[in-house]
Chain A
Amino acid sequence: MGLLSKKDAKLIKDPLLDDNPITIQVLGICSALAITAQLKPSIVMAVSVIFVLGIGNVVISLMRNIIPSKIRIIVQLIVVASLVIIVDQVLKAYAYELSKTLSVFVGLIITNCIIMGRFEAFALGNGPWRAFLDGIGNALGYAVILLAVGFFRELLGSGTLFGIPVLGDPIEKTGLYSTGYENNGFMLMPPMALIIVGLIIWVQRSRNTTLIED
């Protein structure tokens, strides 16, 4: 990170680990449960959020001195909503299948608390470059968890990664399945994402005890 000063680098690095929006701030859980049954939608969701949060933070930061404080939340909502509509339309035009899998969840980026949270907590008080880094950092922190959850859910739930079978064929009983292994259908259900997130939180906090609140 030679390009970034130490302070700027922290903006990217912190949300990835010790200030992760999902596992530490416990924001954006809803979408983390809903779309992580497979890796592919997880990646698209992650990329969409990186786009929306990165650009949104910059836009809000540029406008921070002219936004009337009385309607600042509405202005923030409009910025998120417009960016989300753009993402939605682009997906429909260039990745139609995916947009069907993600369906309502793209629209739900609007309600992803991480985004409004970063606008309000960071972009309104910082310059565009720092706001951009903060946005990207938080979105990446979100992405890391999404991918981890998506990886385990797809692997254990369907025995595939990106739709490609990696554990053998469950019907022909080849590979791992010949030993009597079965896919765990539970993994495809949204609540299992919560359990995986819980496990991640557990591991993270037992490694770094300063994260544990009283």
Chain B
Amino acid sequence: MANKTDKNSYTILFAIVMVVIVGSLLAGFASGLKPRIEANEKFEKQQNILYAMGINNNVGTGDVAFISTDSVSEIFSKFITKQMVIQGDQATEDEEAYLIDIKKESTKAKNGDYQRRLPLFIGQKDGSELYIMPVRGKGLWDAIWGFVAVDKEMIVQGVYFDHKGETPGLGAEIKQRYFMDDFLGEQLLDNGAFQGIKVAKGNNDPKNLVKDDYEVDALAGATITGDGVSAMLKKDLAMYVPYLKTLNN
């Protein structure tokens, strides 16, 4: 036995057979579970969008709590009245705008004169209209992304941030409520000029009482993640400003 398994030809044959078997097994598994996994990702997106517009199961000042997965589809269609796709000057309604992959869109936009498709979600809450925009950028280690809900005056009504691999306890805290809640009420426009919101160190307003300083207090030890959040908000929200301005006319 030992002789046979020591031969090079046997070794190579074994490797080939093993790879084929394992490869097809995994491919079968992956494609079998794909629909469920995609459904989960869809629910997560809906939960995040609803979270940004303040529809969640948060209790007091506790942890982030989303609408439960079972009911999210129903609640999503109840509160999100319209989904739009903005492309250049065109704004069209699109039932599946929330499935647009903004990572792909931004890569495409880098090459040549491709007009980015920007998804925009219009929600109704307590009788007022909210505009929810996705944002995506870079943190320290990997991607960060989120959703920002504003009203007609572009005053922030809620945000949700998430990240792929920021440092636990430092950059990863951007998805904690004490950071996200600071954005509530912040203004984005200074007399009509878009300012964005800066995640600022040495902020004069650590309690975040001033809402028109275009700043929120930074997280200690997470400078680069914080800068990433600032840059992401500045870059991605700016693209929506022309359209949102037309709403007030």
Interface residue ranges, A against B (CB under 8 Å): 65-71, 74-75, 78, 82, 85-86, 89-90, 92-94, 96-97, 104, 171, 188-190
Contacts and interface: CB of A to CB of B under 8 A. Distances in A.
A96 B40 contact: yes
A89 B33 contact: yes
A68 B29 contact: no
B37 A89 contact: yes
Contact of A93 (B19, B33, B165): B33
Nearest to B30: A89
A190 B172 CA distance: 15
B126 to A, nearest CB: 26
Contacts, number: 59
6 contacts: A68-B6, A74-B15, A85-B26, A89-B30, A89-B37, A96-B69
B10 to A, nearest CB: 6
Contact of A96 (B18, B22, B44): B44
Mostly, the A contact residues are helix
B11 interface: yes
Interface string B54-66: 0000001100000
A93 B60 CA distance: 31
B178 interface: no
B25 A71 contact: no
Interface in B1-49: 1-2, 5-6, 10-11, 14-15, 18-19, 22, 25-26, 29-30, 33, 36-37, 40-41, 43-44
Interface of B: 1-2, 5-6, 10-11, 14-15, 18-19, 22, 25-26, 29-30, 33, 36-37, 40-41, 43-44, 60-61, 69, 165, 168-169
Contacts of A74: 15
A189 to B, nearest CB: 7
B224 to A, nearest CB: 20
A78 B44 contact: no
A67 B1 CA distance: 10
A27 to B, nearest CB: 23
B29 A89 contact: yes
B40 A70 contact: no
B22 A78 contact: yes
Nearest to A158: B63
Given A71-B14, A94-B36, A96-B43, 9 more contacts: A67-B14, A69-B6, A75-B14, A82-B25, A85-B29, A86-B26, A96-B37, A96-B69, A189-B169
B33 A92 contact: yes
A59 to B, nearest CB: 11
B210 to A, nearest CB: 26
B37 A92 contact: yes
Contacts of B69: 96-97
Nearest to A92: B37
A86 B29 contact: yes
Contact of B11 (A71, A85, A93, A188): A71
Given A71-B15, A189-B169, A82 B26 contact: yes
A89 B36 CA distance: 10
A71 B16 CA distance: 12
A93 B26 contact: no
A68 B5 contact: yes
B37 A93 contact: yes
B33 A67 contact: no
A86 B41 CA distance: 18
Contacts of B22: 78, 82
Contacts of A92: 33, 37, 40
Contacts of A85: 26, 29-30
Given A93-B36, A93-B37, A171-B61, A70 B11 contact: yes
Nearest to A37: B168
Contact of B6 (A70, A90, A93, A190): A70
Nearest to B61: A171
Given A66-B5, A75-B18, A82-B22, A90 B33 contact: yes
A171 B22 CA distance: 52
B1 A68 contact: no
B28 to A, nearest CB: 10
Contacts of B169: 188-189
